[in-house]
Amino acid sequence: MGPPDSPSAPPASTGSKKPMIDIVDLHKTFGSTKVLTGINLTVPAGSTCVILGGSGSGKTVLMKHMIGLLKPDSGKVIIDGEDIVPMSVQGLQQVRRSFGMVFQAAALFDSMTVFENVAFPLRQHTSLPEDAIREKVRKRLELMSLKPEVENRFPADLSGGMRKRVGLARAVVLDPKVVLYDEPTTGLDPITTDSVDEMILTAQKELGVTSVVISHDIASAFNVADQIAFLSKGVIVENGSPEQLRESTQPAVQVFLQTWFGKN
């Protein structure tokens, strides 16, 4: 645990696993607003890291740096041993193929069926024959507990939870090394939230992916996380296991956790 006055808490112990994501002293400013002020974060391969924090704390900006959608003012973003900050557009395209991303509202292409959505990355980046694509899409949908009947439905005909499942099936269809989840449980009822948590755990267990979850949902974070990093005002003020976070003495963390644990 980092000292209260440090600009950013040191990374939690990564054990023997090699780091998949290593963020070093990351700074980002928009105009005169400092959004990230010295982020240090290490996510070991195959683990699930939840970045927890309130609205406007810089979670989404941090995630966008991980996939190269934003360039930092200074600092390093090392993905699987390679710093992506100085990379060209073509280099970043290559790196992004090892990522899958699940959006808050799933961001499925509404002009395509479920099958076409999940098959989209395969059609763009592989030369697999149609039979192999069909087989792979079916397996991924099955892994997400979706029946083959949904294949021909359009996103508008699916429930919120089903859309999230299709979104994850699409995110993992190219067998990525990392899956990023942008507030996956926001706006869902408790039962659907549980099923989304289950889906995140399944993806990690069955596919061995490294997962990074951006969330302000404390219950969900404690359900899925191996590691929780707490972001407040552009700085990671706590970083450790869920148990370590619960015992944190940081005022920002305590106030945030009280909203949940204070009630339970």
Partner 1 sequence: MTTETPSKPNRLTGAFVQSVEGFGRGLIDVIATIGGVVAMGLDIFRWSVRRPFRLNNLFTQLDFVGVGSIFIVGLTGSFTGMVFALQTSTAFALFDAESLVGPTVALTLTRELSAVFAALMVTMRAGSAMCTELGTMRVSEQVDALETMAVNPVQYLLVPRVLAGLFMVPALTMLFNTTGMTGAYIVAVFGLGISPGTFLSRTQQWMAPSDVYEGLIKGAIFGLAVALICCFKGYNASGGAKGVGQATTEAMVASALSIFILDFIVGMMMH
The stretch near partner 1 (CB under 8 A) out of 38-46, 117-125, 212-220, 231-239 is 117-125
Site size for partner 1 (CB under 8 A): 23
CA dihedral 254, 255, 259, 264 (to 10 degrees): 30
Binding partner 1 by CB under 8 A: which of 10, 121, 160, 242? Answer: 121
For residue 97, the minimal CB distance to partner 1 (Å) is 5
Q: Which is nearer to partner 1, 67 or 228 (CB)?
A: 67
Question: 10: burial class by Cβ within 10 Å (0-12, 13-18, 19+)?
Answer: middle
Report if residue 87 touches partner 1, rule: CB under 8 A. no
- What is the SS3 assignment for 36? strand
169 counts as binding partner 1 under rule CB under 8 A: no
* C-alpha–C-alpha distance, residues 230 and 227, integer Å: 10
State how far the Cα of 234 lies from the Cα of 27, in Å rounded to an integer.
Answer: 9
Q: Which of 51, 67, 144, 199 binds partner 1 (CB under 8 A)?
A: 67
Residue length, the chain? 264
Nearer to partner 1, 55 or 124 (CB): 124
Judged by phi (left if over 0) then psi (alpha if -120 to 50, else beta), residue 208 lies in: left
Cα Rg for the chain, rounded, in angstroms? 18
Does residue 115 bind partner 1 (CB under 8 A)? no
> Measured from the CB of residue 159, what is the shortest distance to partner 1 in angstroms?
17
Select the residue interacting with partner 1 from 20, 58, 77, 99 (CB under 8 A). Answer: 99
Interface with partner 1 by CB under 8 A: which range of 1-9, 23-31, 109-117, 158-166? 109-117
d(CA 17, CA 46): 8
List interacting residues with partner 1 (CB under 8 A).
67, 69, 89, 93-94, 96-97, 99-101, 103-105, 107-111, 120-121, 124-125, 180
